C-alpha cells in the first residue's frame, strides 16, 4: 500500500479528454449478457481525431519526445491502424513532422484511418505484412536515415507498446478506481480488446497498484493467442523495472479471453457486422470491426455463459476505433432512405 501513495507518474502532455465517463446502456443488453450488468468506459471519447486508447499512451511518449528536442515523430502499424492515425494527429498537435510505416498487402483504399493520415500530411511508407518486432526494426532504420539528413526523430514503438504506453493504462486504472469509489459501485471484472498488449498490461498492473480489487481480462482479437500471457508478463515486468514499481502482479491476474477473433485479425463475419449494427441501434455505441466489436461481443458472450458468468457487473473499456468502421461500409446493407415529399401548400 505504501508504494501506491508514493508512485508518481513521469511527465506527460495533456492530450486526452480525461476522465472518460462510465456509461450504462439504457436499453437492456440482458439477452446478450444473461441478465448481468454491463458498464462501458467511454475511452472512444478521449478525443475526436485522436479518439481511443492510443492517446493515453501518447501523452507519455509526447512528453519524452519534447524533452529530447525531437522535430519528427515516427511510428508503425497495420494499414488500418488506429495507433498510427492517433500518432499522426498528435505529431501535428506538437508541431512536428511525421513518418508512418504501414504494413499490409494488396491494394489499399484511401479510407478510414489512412485517409485521415493523408489529410494530416503524413509521409507514408508501405511495407509488406510483418510482425511488431520486425516493424520496430524498420522504425530504427528509418530513424537512422532521418538522423543522417539532420532530423531529430522520436520513435513511438509499433502499437505504442512499451513501458511508457503501459503507464497510460495504469493511470486509467487509477481513474477507474476513483470513479467507482466516488459512485459507490462494485465491479467484478474489467474487459478490453487485446492487440499489442500495453492497454491490457497497463490495466492489470494499475489494478494491482491502485487496489481496484477485480480481475482484468484482455479479449484477444489478433493472432497467436498462446503468445499473449508471456507478452503481457514481459510488458508488466519491463514497466515495473523501468519505473521502480514495487507492486507485484501474481500470475493468476494475467487473464486472456480467446475465441472471438472470428475470421482472423481485421476480418469480419456477417455476424460480427450484424452485432455492431444491433449495438449501435440499441445503445448509440459505435464499435469497430477489428477490435471493440469482437471484444464487446466476446465480453457479453462470456457473461452469458463463460468465465464472466459469476460477475454481477462488468466494465468494458471501449477503446475507440470508429474510423475503422468506414473501411467496411460496403459490407452493410441498409434500406434505401425515402424522399420526404413537401407538404401540399394550403390554397389561399
Ligand atoms: C480500437 C482499438 N482497441 C484496442 C486495441 C488494442 O490495444 P493494445 O494494442 O494496447 O493491446 C487497439 C490497438 O491497436 C485499437 O486500435
What pLDDT does 106 receive?
Answer: 84
Q: Is 10 helix (H, G, I), strand (E, B) or coil?
A: coil
Asked if residue 296 has its Cβ within 6 Å of ligand 1, the reply is: no
Report the 10 Å Cβ neighbour count for 221: 26
> In this structure, what are the phi and psi dihedrals at residue 74, rounded to the nearest 5 degrees?
-130, 145
Ligand 1, atom 13: closest residue by C-alpha: 195
Asked if residue 194 has its Cβ within 6 Å of ligand 1, the reply is: yes
What pLDDT does 227 receive?
Answer: 77
What pLDDT does 348 receive?
Answer: 59
Ligand 1, atom 4: closest residue by C-alpha: 193
Q: Whole-prediction pTM value? A: 0.96
Residue positions counted in the chain? 348
Q: What is the spatial distance between Cα 14 and Cα 6, in angstroms, rounded to a whole number? A: 22
Ligand 1, atom 1: closest residue by C-alpha: 321
Do residues 74 and 80 make contact, with C-beta atoms less than 8 angstroms apart? Answer: no
- pLDDT means per 10 residues in the chain (348 residues)? 69 98 96 98 98 98 98 97 98 98 91 97 96 95 98 97 98 98 98 97 98 97 83 97 98 96 91 97 97 98 97 98 95 92 78
Q: Is 48 helix (H, G, I), strand (E, B) or coil?
A: coil
Q: What is the spatial distance between Cα 319 and Cα 274, in angstroms, rounded to a whole number? A: 20
Q: What is the spatial distance between Cα 203 and Cα 209, in angstroms, rounded to a whole number? A: 10
Asked if residue 292 has its Cβ within 6 Å of ligand 1, the reply is: yes
CATH class held by domain 2-51+162-331: alpha beta
**Active site amino acids:** 81
The vertex-44 CA angle with 38 and 45, nearest 5°, equals 110
- How many angstroms does the Cα of residue 197 sit away from the middle of ligand 1? 8
Asked if residue 197 has its Cβ within 6 Å of ligand 1, the reply is: yes
Check if 2-51+162-331 and 54-159 are the same fold.
yes
Asked if residue 290 has its Cβ within 6 Å of ligand 1, the reply is: no
DSSP for 277-322 reads HHHHHHH-----TTTHHHHHHHHHHHHHHSTTTT-SEEEEE----H
What pLDDT does 344 receive?
Answer: 82
CATH number 3.40.50.1100 is the correct assignment for the domain at 54-159 = yes
Q: What does the pLDDT look like over 107-136, one tens digit per residue?
A: 888 999 999 999 999 999 999 999 999 999
Q: What is the spatial distance between Cα 305 and Cα 284, in angstroms, rounded to a whole number? A: 25
Give the nearest ligand 1 atom to 52 CA. Answer: 1
Q: Domain locations in the chain?
A: 2-51+162-331, 54-159
Give the nearest ligand 1 atom to 169 CA. Answer: 10
What pLDDT does 347 receive?
Answer: 66
What pLDDT does 2 receive?
Answer: 43
Asked if residue 62 has its Cβ within 6 Å of ligand 1, the reply is: no
Give the nearest ligand 1 atom to 159 CA. Answer: 9
Do residues 154 and 65 make contact, with C-beta atoms less than 8 angstroms apart? Answer: yes
Amino acid at each position: 500500500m505504501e508504494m501506491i501513495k508514493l508512485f508518481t507518474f513521469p511527465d506527460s502532455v495533456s492530450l486526452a479528454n480525461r476522465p472518460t465517463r462510465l456509461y450504462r446502456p439504457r436499453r437492456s443488453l440482458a439477452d446478450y449478457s444473461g441478465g448481468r450488468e454491463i458498464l462501458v468506459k467511454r475511452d472512444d471519447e478521449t478525443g475526436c481525431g485522436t479518439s481511443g486508447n492510443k492517446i493515453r499512451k501518447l501523452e507519455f511518449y509526447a512528453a519524452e519526445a519534447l524533452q529530447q528536442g525531437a522535430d519528427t515523430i515516427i511510428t508503425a502499424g497495420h494499414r488500418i491502424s488506429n495507433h498510427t492515425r492517433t500518432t499522426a494527429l498528435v505529431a501535428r498537435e506538437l508541431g512536428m513532422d511525421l513518418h508512418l510505416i504501414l504494413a499490409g498487402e494488396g491494394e489499399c483504399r484511401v479510407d478510414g484511418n489512412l485517409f485521415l493520415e493523408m489529410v494530416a500530411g503524413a509521409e507514408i511508407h508501405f511495407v509488406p505484412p510483418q510482425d511488431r518486432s520486425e516493424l520496430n526494426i524498420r522504425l530504427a532504420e528509418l530513424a537512422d536515415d532521418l538522423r543522417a539528413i539532420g532530423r531529430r526523430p522520436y520513435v513511438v514503438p509499433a502499437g505504442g507498446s512499451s513501458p511508457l504506453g503501459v503507464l497510460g493504462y495504469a493511470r486509467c486504472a487509477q481513474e477507474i478506481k476513483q470513479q467507482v469509489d466516488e459512485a459507490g459501485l462494485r465491479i467484478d471484472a474489467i474487459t478490453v480488446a487485446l492487440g499489442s498488449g500495453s492497454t491490457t498490461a497497463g490495466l492489470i498492473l494499475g489494478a494491482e497498484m491502485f487496489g481496484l480489487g477485480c480481475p482484468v481480462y484482455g479479449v484477444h482479437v489478433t493472432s497467436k493467442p498462446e503468445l499473449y500471457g508471456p507478452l503481457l508478463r514481459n510488458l508488466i515486468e519491463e514497466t515495473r523495472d523501468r519505473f521502480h514499481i514495487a507492486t507485484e502482479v501474481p500470475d493468476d491476474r494475467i487473464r486472456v479471453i480467446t475465441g472471438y477473433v472470428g475470421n482472423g485479425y481485421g476480418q469480419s463475419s456477417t455476424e460480427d457486422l450484424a452485432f455492431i449494427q444491433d449495438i449501435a441501434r440499441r445503445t448509440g455505441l459505435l464499435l469497430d470491426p477489428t477490435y471493440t466489436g469482437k471484444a464487446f461481443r466476446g465480453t457479453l458472450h462470456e457473461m452469458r455463459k463463460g468465465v464472466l458468468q459469476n460477475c454481477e457487473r462488468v466494465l468494458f473499456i471501449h477503446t475507440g476505433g470508429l474510423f475503422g468502421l468506414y473501411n467496411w461500409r460496403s459490407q452493410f446493407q441498409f434500406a434505401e432512405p425515402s424522399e420526404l415529399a413537401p407538404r401540399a401548400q394550403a390554397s389561399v
